Amino acid sequence: MNASFASALTASHEAAASQHYPQGALYVVATPIGNLADITLRALHVLQLADTIACEDTRHTQSLLRAYGIDRSPQQLLALHQHNEAEAAQSALARLRAGQRIAYVSDAGTPAISDPGARLVAAVRAEGLPVVPLPGASSVTTALSVAGIVNDDVTGFVFAGFLPAKSSERSAAVQSLAGEPRAVVLLEAPHRIEPLAAALAALGDRPLTIGRELTKQFEEIATVKAAEFSAWLTAEANRTRGEFVLVLHPAPVADGTGDTEGLRILRLLLAELPLKTAVKLAADISGSSRNTLYDAALALKQLSKT
């Protein structure tokens, strides 16, 4: 056990033990995305209380538990990941029917968002058994909280997660983001970050907040233009290492109707009409700048060829 967490275990019992934790319930537990101190007191208490801990990777979770001073035998850990989730969910259901408390954790962050867990939750709810959320760390909300997005015209955000690995499909996905008026949250692994940066360059001056290794020792946060992301990555050798969370800011609004509406219309027209005709009609319909739409059309056409 990391000695610094000994008092945290005591505090978790004092803070959370008086609450009700029904048997035969699934507890969806958020765990830190990097910094071990980001665990919640209620999560520590439930991880001690649970009869079974279902987890994405048993070895990773065992190491996490030991860091907090929580001992679990291998028999109390149930592997449940993207390759066996449907089958493992049936094993979890049997344990729940027997009255066990099961805590589910992914490798990091809040389960069932990008990580496994959604099929398990759906199966448990379909059986009429209780599912209890324990909120905590999430790479999505962590990145959004430091992006500094202020937009009085459009609220909310889109969670796109990992874009397709194939170049053509990734390019098509990025093209679809060009007309998205809301902020978009993307996730990416280090070995695929450079191709993604190259694809995002087609979005030009669209602001992009980069979160690399969030909450960890070498955390780095920066906001650049989408077209400058590749240059930012290559400016320092270590920048292609670590996990990435990206926030693509909302497309800027240039006039009363907004370029975002013009871009949406432009994308539809480009699929059927020549570029200049599509630009003219999109500008006439939306009131957006023809020059702005023309530049966007060129970028979209180029992106579709990559």
Per-residue pLDDT tens for 7-55? 999 999 999 999 999 999 999 999 999 999 999 999 999 999 999 999 9
Q: How confident is the model at residue 80 (pLDDT cuts 50, 70, 90)?
A: very high
How far from 2 is each of 59, 81, 115, 282, CA to CA, in Å? Answer: 17, 27, 26, 61
pLDDT, residue 252, reads 62
With beta carbons less than 8 A apart as the criterion, state whether 108 and 32 touch: yes
pLDDT, residue 3, reads 73
The structure tokens 């000994």 sit at 6
pLDDT, residue 260, reads 67
Q: What is the DSSP letter of 90?
A: H
Give the residue-averaged pLDDT of 201-215. 94
Look at residues 157, 2, 27 and name the one whose alpha carbon lies nearest to residue 92: 27
pLDDT, residue 258, reads 47
**133-138-140 Cα angle (round to 5):** 125
Look at residues 82, 65, 74 and name the one whose alpha carbon lies nearest to residue 29: 65
Q: Can you give the pTM of this predicted structure?
A: 0.81
pLDDT, residue 29, reads 98
In the predicted structure, residue 139 carries a pLDDT above the cut 70? yes
Give the residue-averaged pLDDT of 243-271. 77
pLDDT, residue 256, reads 42
pLDDT, residue 298, reads 80
In the predicted structure, residue 96 carries a pLDDT above the cut 80? yes
Q: How confident is the model at residue 257 (pLDDT cuts 50, 70, 90)?
A: very low
Q: How confident is the model at residue 262 (pLDDT cuts 50, 70, 90)?
A: confident
Task: Give CA–CA dist 239/236, Å, rounded.
Answer: 6
pLDDT, residue 287, reads 84
pLDDT, residue 255, reads 44
In the predicted structure, residue 97 carries a pLDDT above the cut 50? yes
The pLDDT mean for the chain works out to 91
Look at residues 153, 246, 256, 240 and name the one whose alpha carbon lies nearest to residue 203: 246
Task: Give CA–CA dist 104/30, Å, rounded.
Answer: 9
